[in-house]
Amino acid sequence: MRQVILDTETTGLNPATGDRIIEIGCVELMGRRPTEKTFHRYVNPERDIDEGAKAVHGLSREFLADKPLFANIVDQLIEFVDGAELIIHNAPFDLGFLDNEFALLKRPPFRGLAAKITDTLVDARQMFPGRRNSLDALCDRFAISNKHRTLHGALLDAQLLAEVYLAMTRGQEDLTIDLIDYSVGIDASGQALALPTDLVLMTASNEDCLLHEKILSDIAKVIKTEPVWNRAKATENN
């Protein structure tokens, strides 16, 4: 399924009191891999920006004064997200603002465009109950560099969230065990066939071993507990 990571920046916290979207950033994934396609627009909200919000994203009314209105970019946004699975951190916040913008234009709710909506904040709270699960905290937990993130920005945050989402959902699809065809030793009647005798024995190179150790080290940093393979090695050494 095509997936779109989405983030917004706003004038404040509540669309019900008149706050508006001022920035939208989207990143496309196909087959769990980032493509070169992104969507990024600044939007003129035609209103002031709360000082608290401005301190988060650094966007001013003066900067946004010559940017298009939401009505002028809505069709481009629809084209980019329509039919995709939307992946959003704290989805009710962004969807509430997007639905409000669509309502102001007398259009059906934005969320209806999505084939599926995944909230990574909900998923993170299930994976790490009782811990901080902000985007910054998750970047730190999964060893994803966000040093260049001095202020929030919709496209930058969407790009970071894409990395976090892939790290959170990395599973057996990364292992080559699923590529093995176990049916090669069975005939049409279900009887076992003789295995070939010309099998090639392949051993890991030094480079393969170093890469393997790096992957184990990265996993250990994420889980922040003593990995089971380290405990097994310690038992063997004793």
CB 47 within 8 A of CB 22: no
Tell which wins on pLDDT, 25 or 235: 25
Q: What is the mean pLDDT of residues 126-148?
A: 90
Quote the number of domains for the chain. 2
Report the pLDDT value the prediction gives residue 27, as an integer from 0 to 100. Answer: 97
**11 and 87 together in one domain:** yes
For the ranges 88-102, 172-186, 196-210, 211-225, the maximum mean pLDDT occurs at: 88-102
224 pLDDT above the threshold of 90? no
Single out the catalytic residue among 40, 57, 148, 152. Answer: 152
Tell which wins on pLDDT, 218 or 67: 67
**61 and 111 together in one domain:** yes
**165 and 214 together in one domain:** no
DSSP state of 69: P
Query: Look-up: residue for tokens 């891999």?
Result: 33
Q: Which of 61-75, 85-99, 157-171, 217-231 has the lowest mean pLDDT?
A: 217-231
**88 and 161 together in one domain:** yes
pLDDT in tens, 75-133: 999 999 999 999 999 999 999 999 999 999 999 999 999 999 999 999 999 999 999 99
**40 and 140 together in one domain:** yes
Confidence at 234, pLDDT banded by 50, 70, 90: low
Separation of first and last alpha carbons in the chain = 49
**164 and 47 together in one domain:** yes
**65 and 149 together in one domain:** yes
Q: CA 90, CA 99: separation in Å to the nearest integer?
A: 15
Domain ends where: 118, 143, 171? 171
Report the pLDDT value the prediction gives residue 184, as an integer from 0 to 100. Answer: 47
pLDDT in tens, 30-86: 999 999 899 999 999 999 999 999 988 999 999 999 999 999 999 999 999 999 999
Report the pLDDT value the prediction gives residue 168, as an integer from 0 to 100. Answer: 94
Taking the whole predicted model, whether its pTM rises above 0.85 is answered as no
Report the pLDDT value the prediction gives residue 142, as an integer from 0 to 100. Answer: 92
Q: What percent of the chain has pLDDT over 90?
A: 63
Q: Determine whether 152 is an active site residue.
A: yes
Amino acid letter for position 93: F
Residue 77, helix vs strand vs coil: helix
Q: What is the mean pLDDT of residues 131-154?
A: 85
CATH number at residue 29: 3.30.420.10
- Residue 19: domain span: 2-171
Give domain status of residue 28, yes or no. yes
Average pLDDT over the chain, rounded to an integer: 85
Both structure tokens of 66: 């010559």
